[in-house]
Amino acid sequence: MSILPETEMVTLISNSPDETAALGECWGRTAPRGWLVGLDGDLGAGKTQLVKGLARGLGITELVHSPTFALINQYAGGRLPLFHLDFYRLETPAEIQGAGLDEYLFDPAGVTVVEWIERWPGFPSVQPGRFRRVSIACVSESERRICYEDFGA
């Protein structure tokens, strides 16, 4: 994995799904309670792969899969619980607000990861704690550009 310099955002190049998962694992090892990670990227970009690594870094041994149809998957058994949300089927900010997810979004008792965070425009401005916005783009069949920026305390 290589790091490309940018002004405010960190940009990484992952050359395989294993590298993407390894990045998530690294983040999981030091993730604080209450941390929220918002992911955006096309279908198949590697969002769930990153979450699998993050779970591994938290010490979670359960099989992690996308919660597209369930809206939320919860994983325990690690250093902190992991709450994996997917906004793909929620089309508006009003639907997100009406889904009853406040405990996972505003003061999670562990780490919350939200796939398709772009469906809630301006989310970092309403999230009071620590928030990492991550964008994953397909550069080629095996290469991904992962850009992230941290907000909050």
- What is the token pair recorded at 121? 């425009």
Residue 122 pLDDT > 60, yes or no?
A: yes
Domains of the chain by residue range: 2-151
**Beta strands at 131-138 and 35-40: parallel, antiparallel or unpaired:** parallel
Question: Mean pLDDT, to the nearest integer, of 57-79?
Answer: 92
Residue pair 54/31 in contact (Cβ under 8 Å)? The answer is: yes
pTM score above 0.95 = no
pLDDT, residue 98, reads: 86
Residue 59 pLDDT > 80, yes or no?
A: yes
pLDDT, residue 127, reads: 58
pLDDT, residue 55, reads: 97
Work out the pLDDT band at 110, boundaries 50, 70, 90: very high
pLDDT, residue 120, reads: 79
- According to CATH, the topology of domain 2-151 is Rossmann fold (3.40.50)
Question: Reading across the β-sheet that carries 131-138, which strands appear in turn?
Answer: 2-4, 10-14, 144-151, 131-138, 35-40, 111-115, 82-86, 72-75
**Reduced to 3 states, what is the DSSP secondary structure of residue 109?**
coil
Place of tokens 């993407």: 20
pLDDT, residue 2, reads: 47
Report CA-CA distances (Å) from 24 to 17, 101, 122.
11, 23, 24
Residue 20 pLDDT > 80, yes or no?
A: yes
